[in-house]
Amino acid sequence: MCDTCVVLSNATRHGEAFFAKNSDREPNEAQYLTVIPAQDYQAGEKLRCTYIEIPQVNHTYQVLLSKPYWMWGAEMGANEYGVVIGNEAIFTKVPAKKEPGLTGMDYLRLALERSGTALEALKTITSLLEQYGQSGNCSAEHGLYYHNSFLITDGKEAYVLETVDKMWIAKKINDFYAISNAPSITTEWDMVSDDLIAFACEHKWCQNTSSFNFAQAYSDFLFTKFSQGCERRCYVMDLLEVHRDKIDLSLMKQILRSHQLHPQDSYPDRTLTAWNVCMHAAPGPIRNSQSVASLITQYRKDGIIHWTTGTSAPCLSVFKPVWLSSGLPDIGPQPDHHFDENCLWWQHERVHRSVLRDFPTRHMLLEPAIADLEKQFQKMVDDLKTSDEQSRFKFTKSAFAMEKEQYSNWLSLLEQTPHQHRNAFYYNKYWQNNNRKAGITV
């Protein structure tokens, strides 16, 4: 489960635009950052996506992706033209298909590689969707099948696109918008596939076009209710409305790090059902995923900066700046579902899982250090306004190194702090099992 939001420049403090997303997946489903260069292809070449092949285009654009280790597609990403996309799982009355096909993450990467504007990205997804549909398992360890919604922006325009099998509906965003794990478009839209409304009328989910409400007609009650997607989306939308015209980078970080929808999540072992924007997994079928990676894109007047974590738990991670034009430095090997002491995601995961042993106490210990690093990065970014690409590349490399240098200090600090909270036994058992599977010692 995930949360994504976009804010256009007319609603922000400094005339910037923003995109922000947390990707929620299973605890050992490591995610990694990668830059794929622009490439040319010969006519007739095929492209292997996660499960199936489709025709390749003649040219693909350079992309920055944050992607689960095992799939071709991505949870979120950006391209060289400033198009940024995030997707969400949504559950509808139309069962998601299980046979191998194109997944929502595949569509996200396809759109980034093939589209120069937000509107082009929307059209790329919908044209392919009408041809191939969407299907296939979206989980590394379990069976998880769903339809998808997308937030798409290029900093100037933004769209929300929501899909059901081969059908779709889309709306242009005026100021800001948030999506979560529930259909969000209701009675207002700008584009719709030919058969979406007719299909709903045929199944008696609405009476006619004038009474059509997409979310009401198509939303699945059970999965939508227990994912708490409507509540999380409303929380983010309310927060953006309260801060309208004052929205800045600090607020976007605050949103992705938020536990405020369910404050009892300060004790993540005490609830098995409560979801927050910043998620920490717990045992059981309802809340078995965590925020494994985060991305904020900042459209500044002097260029586009992608603030990335490359690690789980945004409340315990440092957002580091990446300029796609200058590239991504070597941040270590690509992770998989087993612990690797040389891998950035797993190095940070030792910190994260150590904090979970006494979250209420240990979480607060790291907040000052994280804030200090981000303050340093912000000052350095401001000083780099007119710098060349080589300087930006060196700074990105330095930012990742500065964070990694802190991990051993943070682990020592955590271990030296006496426990003040004892986790529920089933919660400890759950994490012991995850750690055993991954081969990680905490």
**β partners of residue 128:** none
pLDDT in tens, 51-72: 999 999 999 999 999 999 999 9
pLDDT value for 127: 98
Look at residue 274 and give its three-state secondary structure: coil
Q: What whole-number distance in Å separates Cα of residue 13 and Cα of residue 314?
A: 23
> Residue 274: pLDDT above 80?
no
> Residue 266: pLDDT above 70?
no
Kindly state the average pLDDT of the residues 343-355: 97
> Residue 303: pLDDT above 70?
yes
pLDDT value for 264: 55
For 439, other C-beta atoms within 10 Å of its C-beta total: 12
For β-strands 39-40 and 63-68, DSSP reports them as: unpaired
- Under the banding of pLDDT at 50, 70 and 90, the label for residue 159 is very high
pLDDT value for 135: 97
Catalytically active residues are: 2
For 144, other C-beta atoms within 10 Å of its C-beta total: 15
pLDDT in tens, 117-152: 999 999 999 999 999 999 999 998 888 999 999 999
Q: Are 306 and 78 in contact (CB under 8 A)?
A: yes
pLDDT value for 440: 96
Q: What is the DSSP string of 183-201?
A: ----S--SEE-TTHHHHHH
pLDDT value for 128: 98
Q: What is the DSSP string of 381-442?
A: HHHTTT--HHHHHHHHHHHHHHHHHHHHHHHHHHHHSPP--PPPHHHHHHHHHHHHHHT---
Whole-number mean pLDDT of the chain? 93
Q: What whole-number distance in Å separates Cα of residue 110 and Cα of residue 57?
A: 10
Which structural domains are found in the chain, ordered by start? Answer: 3-334 (3.60.60.10)
pTM: predicted TM-score of the whole model, two decimal places: 0.96
* Burial classification of residue 116, based on how many CB atoms lie within 10 Å of its CB (0-12 exposed, 13-18 middle, 19 or more buried): middle
